[in-house]
Chains A and B, each alone.
Chain A
Amino acid sequence: MKAPHITQARTTSALLYLSGVTVSFDGFKALNNLSLLVEPGEMRAIIGPNGAGKTTMMDVVTGKTRPDEGEVVFDGHADLTKLDEADIATLGIGRKFQKPTVFENHTVRDNLLLALAGQRSWYRLLLATPTADENRRLDEILAIIRMEPQQHMLGARLSHGQKQWLEIGMLLAQDPKLLLVDEPVAGMTDVETETTAQVLKEINRTHSVVVVEHDMSFVRALGVKVTVLHEGSMLAEGSLDQVSADPRVVEVYLGR
């Protein structure tokens, strides 16, 4: 793995460190001097009204968007503003999109194989076959997401719920240090929402997680520290009860 922008000394104990990050699109500041710290092993919920900059923040962390100003440091030493998506993913940041995106023309097993941590270079993959070790990992993950019977089914033929499960399986296969999850319960029933909260807590035992979500009952079910974004900056931070008692948060969410 090449890691051109990794300096030796650790500058922060935080797993993810954002300081003074500003992103503007044609003069509109999607992020305005945003600072944020996520500790190793932490699960953090990020809430905020539409246009608060939640998705832009994820884009900056995963290398899709370059910030105009500010620092973004992962694991204390990797400068994410200098790396591209592939480098950042290889460093150990996974991203789950709002809409489940599985590879529709691939089987469930091949979806997991593509996500499996390890082989990424095109010339090695020309000759590679899945190793015994990789097959064992795939079997394990298929068991965890309870999709062994569907493993040879094409992604396109899965139900919405099955796609969500497969995507979670793909994230497990990718085994990132930090997982960014974008609105995981949009369009879900109450029961599914509850199950997803359980699954995220389960994943949080071994991975750090940042969840962006609108659904307050879901955030409550997670029971973790909450960051409120508004107009590209951090408005408040604390437990859900603390931030919902904050008059500024109430104003932003309910309007004057």
Chain B
Amino acid sequence: MITRFLWQGMDRNLRLFILLVLAIGILLPLSNQLLPVGSAFRAPSWVLQLVGKYLCYASLALAVDLVWGFCGILTLGHAAFFALGGYCMGMYLMRQIGTRGVYGNPLLPDFMVFLGYKELPWFWHGFDHFWFAAVMIVLVPSLLALALGWFAFRSRVTGVYLSIITQAMTFALLLAFFRNDMGLGGNNGMTDFKDILGFSVQSDTTRAMLCFTSALVLAIFLVIAAAVVGSRFGKALTAVRDAESRMRFLGYRVEGYKLFVFVLSAAMAGIAGALYVPQVGIINPSEFAPGNSIEAVLWVAVGGRGTLIGPVIGAFIVNFGKTYLTGALPEVWLFALGALFIVVTLLLPKGVVGLWNQLNSRSRERRARAVA
């Protein structure tokens, strides 16, 4: 029954795409580990780190697409769930430092010693254990999404008002996490991580494993998302997106549908954020910046809203552009981002995947005409 559920949404293209994601996630780390340094086919560590980061962004984009593309909820605060997952992972990584911090305090992380904490705040307990952090990575974003969604969807807040609420949520969290007395590192956040599950976060082997795990998680998310949108639930979900009140008059309790995808999507974003943090080596409040959430929406728009492959492609294209431009022409990047937004909105309403489908069907028609 579960296997049938997981396979129901798969088509050939998606299966190939998932294989491609897995191939990247396996071949890049393997080449890094097995080939000698200097080989032309060996992926250097910085490539692993970059690709691993993009894979996490792609998972976030997929999460955004699930609510925006398939349910019509334009979320402008999804980076908050990503950051919360990241903070949970950051707390675990902080506890792994132990006495190796600058102050060498066996009980407290450096920033707490610096701020004059006498004992560990209550919400830090448990984060010594990986399993506890793993549970929190899923639970904290899900519960926030559940609470926000419960009130918003029941009060029938939709459209731009809902977007504003999600934006306000991430902004409120940004301000809260900036405060030193939040007990989460304030402005500086958390960094100087040493170990994850006993392996050094700096080592190439760990980098390779993290890159592989990010690809695996993205592949799993694609399978789950495909199963959800391919089910009868998914049919009802897109129907809610297209004609919400019609669904109500057909007897569907629309809130339940919205809440389920919203929470599922928040959990996915949280896991993506948790994988992101050990790869970039830092988590701080700027991850909550409203601009981050808006950028995530842009990835989805560029790749193709309402498709499963689109957000992944969009996340890679935009972030590759960002990495390149912020290095080569740093002052141009924001203009390029703005221009991209305008171009996609005006010319590519269905994104790159939509353009691809259009060109494909046009060439197929031409071929059919040539035969006739």
Binding site for B on A (CB under 8 A): 62, 64, 84-86, 89-90, 94-95, 97, 101, 103-106, 110, 113-115, 119-123, 125-130, 170, 174
Contact = CB atoms under 8 A, between A and B. Distances in A.
B250 A89 contact: yes
Contact of A114 (B4, B228, B239): B239
Interface of B: 1, 4-5, 8, 228, 231-233, 235-236, 238-239, 242-243, 245-254, 256-257, 260
Given A85-B248, A103-B242, A103-B246, A114 B253 contact: no
A119 to B, nearest CB: 7
A85 B238 CA distance: 19
A10 B272 CA distance: 56
A209 to B, nearest CB: 16
A86 B253 contact: yes
A210 to B, nearest CB: 14
A85 B250 CA distance: 8
12 contacts: A101-B246, A105-B238, A110-B235, A114-B239, A114-B247, A122-B253, A122-B256, A125-B231, A125-B232, A126-B5, A170-B250, A174-B250
Contact of B249 (A89, A104, A122, A128): A89
B252 A86 contact: yes
A106 B235 contact: yes
Nearest to B4: A129
A95 B252 CA distance: 14
Nearest to B231: A126
Nearest to A155: B242
A97 B248 CA distance: 13
B265 to A, nearest CB: 15
A106 B246 CA distance: 14
Contacts of A113: 232, 235
Contacts of A130: 232
Contacts of A94: 249
Nearest to A62: B249
A183 to B, nearest CB: 16
A129 B5 CA distance: 10
B232 A128 contact: yes
A122 B248 CA distance: 13
B233 A126 contact: yes
B57 to A, nearest CB: 27
B228 A104 contact: no
Contacts of A121: 253, 256
B242 A105 contact: yes
Contacts of B247: 114
Contacts of A103: 238-239, 242-243, 246
Given A122-B260, A126-B228, A95 B251 contact: no
A106 B242 CA distance: 10
A111 B82 CA distance: 36
B249 A127 contact: no
A113 B252 CA distance: 13
Contacts of A95: 249
B28 to A, nearest CB: 34
A122 B257 CA distance: 6
Contacts of A122: 233, 236, 253, 256-257, 260
Nearest to B238: A105
A125 B246 contact: no
A101 B251 CA distance: 15
Contacts of B1: 127
Contacts of B228: 126
A70 B5 CA distance: 48
A115 to B, nearest CB: 6
A85 B260 CA distance: 20
Contacts of A114: 235-236, 239, 247, 250
Nearest to A167: B246
A106 B250 contact: no
A174 to B, nearest CB: 6
A104 B246 CA distance: 12
Contacts of A120: 251-253
Q: Which 9 A-B pairs have the closest CB atoms?
A: A89-B251, A85-B248, A125-B233, A122-B256, A125-B232, A126-B233, A90-B251, A86-B253, A103-B239
